[in-house]
Amino acid sequence: MVRGWSAALALSLTVAAVGGGAPVAVPKTGTATGAPTVTAVSPRHGKLDGGTRIKVVGTGFSHVQQVRFGTAPGRRVHVVSRSVLYVTTPAHVAGRVHVRVASAAGTSPARFADRYRYAPAPQVVLDPGHNGGNASHPAQVNRLVYAGYGRYKACNTTGTATNGGYPEHRFNWRVALLVRRLLVARGIKVLFTRSSDTGVGPCVNRRAAIESTRGTDAAVAIHADGAPSNGHGFHVNEDSRLPEGATRATRQKSTILGRAIHYALVHGSGLVPATYVGNNGYNYRDDLAGLNLSTAPTSFLELGNMRNAHDARLQSSPSGRHRIAHAIAAGILGYLGW
């Protein structure tokens, strides 16, 4: 049967060839002829000076000659399969470009799915609360500074600690370092309000000034709470009034930033919304200089209760801090859409 089927097929092919006339030239564009198509690029945006590694998904990635961003050729093209390749972005001015794959069979047609956006890298300020030298410098730390709404507060405080003696300033510092590493890996510019965990201060109004650095897209204060041990969980502090330095538009952005981080904390940090303060992990205050005086979209986090055994276990362990830092970074990236 197989032999007979083959003979019949060969006959029909011969007939078709005889009846088909002269060979037709294969067109060099279009999707039916083996020319590439691009159905997805990821990430879909990156910085102006290039260097972002991009995954391109599509069809027809064989004999790839070039991957172009607008008219600029990408670098280090690595074709994994006929449907996946990697390429490093070239430098480009701000704006959207089509990512098009050129092969011997033609060039992928421009379409919505292949668009890539060049944008200036976002700038994020991280404010790890307190400092390791605060406890031994009471005069410096206790002097009063302006905290917003006509009130004055101590320059800074020492922070809390777990019952096992793990101090809040160290937790804040280590989480901030992890968040910074995750954001920098995505091409984001990150500023800190302090340069070590062994210094003094800076004062809360100075921290707010750093958060307000020109060009800041998001500022995040990183703290942990010290509350009665039967309560646990994180909370996002939000300003209960319009911050003195901020516009209504900025205040709305602060709310969205807080929600994005709250969502990420709920889904990945190992901490639940606080059971002992505020409402579902949100707490409204008007006595935090970092919120009152910042002119940038700002969120003030309390990442668990250090006096609670469950939260303290997370805060004191590298794996726990990783989970918390990944969630904060995910929330910031989600807010930035980056």
| Contact between residue 62 and residue 103 where contact means Cβ atoms under 8 Å apart | yes
Which range touches Zn ion (CB under 5 A), out of 25-33, 129-137, 208-216, 251-259? 129-137
Report the relative pairing of strands 72-73 and 64-69 from DSSP bridges.
antiparallel
Residue 64: which H helix or E strand, with range? strand 64-69
Q: How far is the CB of 38 from Zn ion (least distance, A)?
A: 48
60 vs 159, which CB is nearer to Zn ion?
A: 159
Q: How far is the CB of 172 from Zn ion (least distance, A)?
A: 7
Coil, helix or strand at residue 130: coil
- 224-234 burial by CB neighbour count: b if 16+ within 10 A, else e? bbbbebeebbb
Distance from C-alpha of 220 to C-alpha of 132, rounded to nearest angstrom: 19
79 vs 301, which CB is nearer to Zn ion?
A: 301
Report the relative pairing of strands 123-128 and 189-192 from DSSP bridges.
parallel
Which range touches Zn ion (CB under 5 A), out of 27-35, 125-133, 136-144, 255-263? 125-133
Other Cβ atoms within 10 Å of 255 Cβ, number: 16
37 vs 134, which CB is nearer to Zn ion?
A: 134
170 vs 251, which CB is nearer to Zn ion?
A: 170
Amino acid at 216: T
The candidate with the shortest Cα–Cα distance to 304, out of 286, 331, 277, 329, is 277
Q: How far is the CB of 253 from Zn ion (least distance, A)?
A: 23
Choose, by CB under 5 A, the member of 46, 58, 159, 297 that binds Zn ion. 159
User: Is residue 129 a contact point for Zn ion (CB under 5 A)?
Assistant: yes
Q: How far is the CB of 248 from Zn ion (least distance, A)?
A: 28
Which range touches Zn ion (CB under 5 A), out of 103-111, 187-195, 221-229, 264-272? 221-229
Answer yes or no: 211 catalytic: no
User: Is residue 223 a contact point for Zn ion (CB under 5 A)?
Assistant: yes
Catalytic residue annotation: 302
* Interacting residues toward Zn ion by CB under 5 A: 129, 159, 223
